[in-house]
Structure formats: C-alpha cells, structure tokens
Amino acid sequence: MRRVLLIISGIISLVLGIVGIVLPVLPTTPFLLLSAACFVRSSERLYDWLINHRVFGLYIRSYILYKAISFKAKVFTLVTLWAVILTSAFVFIDLLWLRILLVAIALAVTIHIIRFATLTEEMKLSLEEGDKVLKE
C-alpha cells in the first residue's frame, strides 16, 4: 500500500512539475525532486526513467549533485515570472497593497533563483557521462 501511495504521489508531483515549467507560479524543481524521492522509495524503474529522462534527468541530477540550474533555465524562469507578475499586478489588480505584495514575492523568488549555482559545462559533462547518478 505504501509503495502504491508513493508512486501515485510521485506521478502527481511530476505532473505538477511539468505544469510548473510553463507556469511561473508553480515551482518546478521541488515537484521534480519530490517525484524522484517518491520513486526512489517505491519503484527503481520509475526512478531510473526519471533521472535518465531526456528533459528532466539532467535538471534533476544537476540540482541533486550541485544545487545548480542552467543559465538558460534561470533566464527563462525569471523572464516568465516577471512577465506574469507585472501583467497581473498592473493589468488585473487595482489594489496598491496587492501590487506591492506581488512585486515583493517576485523579488524574493528572483533572489532565490539567482542564488542557485549556475550549471557549468564541466558539471554538465560529468552528469551526461553518468559518472555520478545518485540513488539516495
């Protein structure tokens, strides 16, 4: 029963992570990491699929090993975040305090994302070679 719940939780968090790629209000990394954590405890096959996935694998392994994200991911995330926040704050919201709150949240998220290490070519090559695939 525990195994089934972990697999279901992993799938749900994976879907949320995928949605978070295009919606800046949903964080991608925590959901993908939660999926990996659920799968490593419930299904070796799903875990191997996830960390070796063409799109998600490098992203997850780089975060687990180096706490790093690519420069391209940082730029995409920040541009999308600010576009959505500014559009929401100044097109759809009339309350000044709510506008200030949205901008403050965007600033906090921006600082959080900038503080992540940027994935270097050396890190990427190491991950692509499969030298350090974690199973913990």
Which distant-in-sequence residues (6+ apart) come within 8 Å of 95 by Cβ? Answer: none
Q: Average pLDDT, stretch 73-98?
A: 90
At which residue do the structure tokens 């690519």 appear? Answer: 70
d(CA 136, CA 105): 32
d(CA 130, CA 94): 51
Residue 25 has pLDDT above 80, yes or no: no
Q: Which two tokens stand for residue 80?
A: 């999308």
Q: Average pLDDT, stretch 6-12?
A: 94
d(CA 4, CA 90): 45
- Nearest Cα neighbor of 134 from 54, 37, 55, 56 is 37
Residue 65 has pLDDT above 80, yes or no: yes
Categorize the per-residue pLDDT at 23 as very low, low, confident or very high, splitting at 50, 70 and 90: confident
Task: Out of 4-8, 12-16, 57-61, 127-131, pick the least confident.
Answer: 127-131
Residue 133 has pLDDT above 60, yes or no: no
Q: Where are the domains of the chain?
A: 2-128
pLDDT per residue as tens digits for the range 89-124: 999 999 999 999 999 999 998 999 899 999 988 888
Confidence (pLDDT) at 135? 45
* 3-class state of residue 46 by DSSP: helix
Confidence (pLDDT) at 36? 93
Categorize the per-residue pLDDT at 39 as very low, low, confident or very high, splitting at 50, 70 and 90: very high
Q: Pick left, alpha or beta for residue 80 (phi over 0 → left; psi -120 to 50 → alpha; otherwise beta).
A: alpha
